[in-house]
Structure 1
């Protein structure tokens, strides 16, 4: 790769070259035929053949460190506001790693955090400063280390960690003693000169300490420590390791793989806790979320840590930075701008690239030699070395072969290849070739050797096929990673997109416009799937890919699922054409015998429309009235921010109305929406 740039000219030149070499009618005919048959390898081959033997040039394209920018941002940050906090973070990110300017910017940000009462943020910056200094000074501490230790002590006091605060003061005093001994040539405690020098140094450092700050108002917390990922209901499934044993994987000839309830599942139960096979971050979230775990960087305790090579991405901790670099960021950092060329491709191209990286290097440690094709997982390459229009072996209906962490489960996801237009696939195929070349170069394979070696040409072709396959799969299988932001005026949590991910277990759930589960994002891309109403034994576990039946009419919903996911929705809401507007004062009770719908026939009785069973509804009315009071009480608690107290009340109410009310029911939907709001507060949140 050549020098850093910032306008993606390398890709645009490649794209222009591809279009220029593939404009003939003969090419279009061959490519369109391969597109229609979903022959990915053939589509890649057509473009590679048209390009000819000339090498594919890949230049570095990323936002590198910028000393002038760092100095300018630090000078501009002269107010105690969020905007100026962001400028200091920008300065820290732009400064060369472990340079004096970096430490100066970091210290400035720590002092600003302390001045505004954000003690946890201040402490994190102080610890990062000390750790980074220690790694390069090797015991040769400067005066700044004393200032940082005193500041860290004050921050700990602000957090009421008095023991830790005293320990940091003791560390600072040890350094002062060492400086005094060096200055006067002795460290004898009875030496008058030593005592005077130590006292003078102590006085000087005390004069530089900041005035005590007032703690900032308590805000929502969002860190890996605070947001514990819950366990699944019961035990983990025998082979679906991310799912509860309350569900089972079934193969249906018309639906494909799907999940069903093995036993009754109460509302609020955790049925799946899935980890992403690969994930990525949206462009808009790069400045406000950790690249690796997606923890919010906008909260009072946050102290963003920059990449040591670029200034485009931030992390919530040094640990996330190191893990990210070893797993994937080192293969994308120097080409990061390429993933932001086309607005429509920003998420899918990076997610496809990360999916290929994860699969290709599975089982390989960061210390292994990645300088040849032997560094890439051979099983992964074999999957894409043959035409994969129908990966029959991977999608065999034997559920006991299913392994959630195996790339074959991702490879087996429906791609609906052949349903994309030739124009779309041409663009994707060209991009796949370019990204495959980027990956090869990131693996330290010489561009010259790549073009001369037939083996490396095969590697380029196979990796490009894998990229194209991933782009197809992502189009209809990727899930959004979201964080929830509370609107203080409406007191409602609204979702905000952070990124996208591929989940091998969650993807087994089918769609319904009236789902019985809901997904919530947790740190490190984890997704927690809970039931939002009672799911009886034998019922299918159903997610919602599009709009709820109350949000749009049946035709609109079906058009969306047909265009995006290539199926005609046959859920209860669509088959029965449930109305978007449900009456507030009218509902039907549920038959005890067959669970059908009971219509009121007299003042005290209702008759089932299915089996004719008559039911005394007076008891139901009393149960409903008493139970609704729980929902209203829960709403008051939610308004005050006490979501953990509101949730049990809502689940009790849900248990009651699931037994007595027939669907659709506005009371049932309201309860489910309130349950979702409580779960929003328990998942990833931000401000």
Structure 2
């Protein structure tokens, strides 16, 4: 059994991209916030947190996109590929022509499927991720094909050659896969108060929101299936993703992620519609089968007033901590231990029938703890 709070996956992105609006505040390569960016030797469109990131970026992919990024951002907006188009192109540039060949990618994916190491850095693991080609309409496939050819022509501009068919084919494959498999890279944004917080002032946790700074492809994290009541949550340390447990996982039980549609915030009809449109499946998790209510209609923990009363106090203390801005990872780890203790108590009490509001609250506070730890922590070397 794995209890809440445990870390079960740490994965560095196979490829990642920084959103345009953060290019002056975050590292182009590792996506960490940086106070004084190190410039590229050749262009003024990117910045890096260290010379190491600058050199790694140049050797891997930036030499091909250098000086073109402003146009690339505009291009992906014009052809409506958005971050998935730029991320697909970044993946191909990192792979290079030899690795991105269909035959080699299939061979590498096959080796992973027969019990060999599933390596996040191997292009074959990215190639093996589902693209739902058979479920897509002809119009959808045609639009993505045009996008692939356009992006290929754009990166080849000025060389006088016809678009590289191999590159366009590889891009088309990723443009089908990434809407279902790419992950958001976000930091937690805490609004600054207009005046210093008083001891009794509380910050509404709804005001503390994830701020999306980029996107990445994480082949291992992408293997997790969806549940409207997930047992894990993932947070970003730059381009490194850490998966932590938010409810007890029994031996042999599957690890479940949430694809953005949670039972407490979206009713079953909306969840089924959105999941079907983007991910092409129908969810049969417990909240869907039993039609669990939204948070506002979920019963409270009336039978255990000792838990509910203590929880109110501890959540208010956590809000004050956030209001003053977190006092370092040590304080946040204390909060993690406190709130995972609540989850363990509720899960161990067989008289409590889930869902209950207090359990949802604890999970949400725990998610904020994990996200703040990630936002405040230094680079993770993976």
- Deviation at 1:354? 1.1
Q: Please, which of 87, 103, 110 is the counterpart of residue 383 of structure 1?
A: 103
Q: Which runs of 5 or more residues in structure 1 are unaligned?
A: 1-263, 361-375, 452-456, 589-620
For the Cα contact (< 8 Å) 1:546–1:560, is it kept in 2? no
Q: Which runs of 5 or more residues in structure 2 are unaligned?
A: 194-202, 378-382
For the Cα contact (< 8 Å) 1:483–1:497, is it kept in 2? yes
Cα distance in 2, alignment partners of residues 382 and 669 from structure 1: 45
Cα distance in 2, alignment partners of residues 631 and 323 from structure 1: 48
In structure 1, the residue matched to 2:345 is 656
- Deviation at 1:473? 1.0
- Deviation at 1:395? 9.1
Cα distance in 2, alignment partners of residues 628 and 676 from structure 1: 21
Q: Please, which of 122, 130, 133 is the counterpart of residue 406 of structure 1?
A: 122
Cα distance in 2, alignment partners of residues 293 and 327 from structure 1: 13
In structure 1, the residue matched to 2:11 is 274
In structure 2, the residue matched to 1:326 is 59
Q: Please, which of 340, 363, 366 is the counterpart of residue 675 of structure 1?
A: 366
For the Cα contact (< 8 Å) 2:300–2:356, is it kept in 1? no
The answer to whether structure 1 residue 546 and structure 2 residue 260 are counterparts is: yes
- Indicate how the Cα distance of structure 1 residues 663 and 625 shifts in structure 2: closer, same or farther if over 3 A, else same: same
- Deviation at 1:681? 1.0
In structure 1, the residue matched to 2:197 is none
In structure 2, the residue matched to 1:432 is 148
- Deviation at 1:647? 1.9
- Indicate how the Cα distance of structure 1 residues 310 and 491 shifts in structure 2: closer, same or farther if over 3 A, else same: farther
Give 3-state SS (helix, strand or coil) of 1:341's partner: helix
Cα distance in 2, alignment partners of residues 419 and 395 from structure 1: 26
Give 3-state SS (helix, strand or coil) of 2:56's partner: helix
- Indicate how the Cα distance of structure 1 residues 486 and 393 shifts in structure 2: closer, same or farther if over 3 A, else same: closer
- Matched ranges for 1:179-194 at <5 A: none
Give 3-state SS (helix, strand or coil) of 2:174's partner: helix
- Deviation at 1:527? 0.4
For the Cα contact (< 8 Å) 2:10–2:243, is it kept in 1? yes
In structure 2, the residue matched to 1:562 is 276
Cα distance in 1, alignment partners of residues 94 and 19 from structure 2: 19
- Matched ranges for 1:122-201 at <5 A: none
Q: In terms of Rg, which structure is larger?
A: 1
- Matched ranges for 1:338-417 at <5 A: 338-343=72-77, 344-360=80-96, 376-377=97-98, 380-383=100-103, 394=110, 398-400=114-116, 402-417=118-133
Cα distance in 2, alignment partners of residues 583 and 432 from structure 1: 46
The answer to whether structure 1 residue 464 and structure 2 residue 168 are counterparts is: yes
- Deviation at 1:498? 0.7
- Matched ranges for 1:2-401 at <5 A: 264-297=1-34, 302-336=35-69, 337-343=71-77, 344-360=80-96, 376-377=97-98, 380-383=100-103, 394=110, 398-400=114-116
In structure 2, the residue matched to 1:520 is 235
In structure 1, the residue matched to 2:198 is none
Q: Which runs of 4+ in 1 moved over 4 A?
A: 437-441
Write out per-residue CA displacement over residues 187-212 of structure 1, whole angstroms, 9 at most, x where no aligned residue. xxxxxxxxxxxxxxxxxxxxxxxxxx
Give 3-state SS (helix, strand or coil) of 1:310's partner: coil
- Deviation at 1:411? 0.8
Cα distance in 2, alignment partners of residues 631 and 653 from structure 1: 12
- Deviation at 1:427? 3.4
Which moved further from structure 2: 528-537 or 429-438?
A: 429-438
For the Cα contact (< 8 Å) 1:485–1:494, is it kept in 2? yes
For the Cα contact (< 8 Å) 2:109–2:127, is it kept in 1? no
- Deviation at 1:626? 5.3
Cα distance in 2, alignment partners of residues 346 and 513 from structure 1: 26
Cα distance in 1, alignment partners of residues 109 and 298 from structure 2: 50
Cα distance in 2, alignment partners of residues 562 and 395 from structure 1: 31
In structure 2, the residue matched to 1:419 is 135
Cα distance in 2, alignment partners of residues 392 and 307 from structure 1: 34
Aligned residues: 352
TM-score (norm 2): 0.83
- Deviation at 1:346? 2.7
Write out per-residue CA displacement over residues 570-594 of structure 1, whole angstroms, 9 at most, x where no aligned residue. 1111111001134454568xxxxxx
Write out per-residue CA displacement over residues 508-538 of structure 1, whole angstroms, 9 at most, x where no aligned residue. 1100111110010002x00000001111112
- Deviation at 1:549? 0.8
In structure 1, the residue matched to 2:356 is 665
For the Cα contact (< 8 Å) 1:384–1:466, is it kept in 2? no
For the Cα contact (< 8 Å) 1:267–1:534, is it kept in 2? yes
Cα distance in 1, alignment partners of residues 245 and 369 from structure 2: 13
Give 3-state SS (helix, strand or coil) of 2:16's partner: strand
For the Cα contact (< 8 Å) 2:102–2:170, is it kept in 1? no
- Deviation at 1:413? 0.5
For the Cα contact (< 8 Å) 1:491–1:639, is it kept in 2? no
In structure 1, the residue matched to 2:290 is 576
- Deviation at 1:675? 0.7
- Indicate how the Cα distance of structure 1 residues 576 and 413 shifts in structure 2: closer, same or farther if over 3 A, else same: same
Cα distance in 2, alignment partners of residues 395 and 411 from structure 1: 12
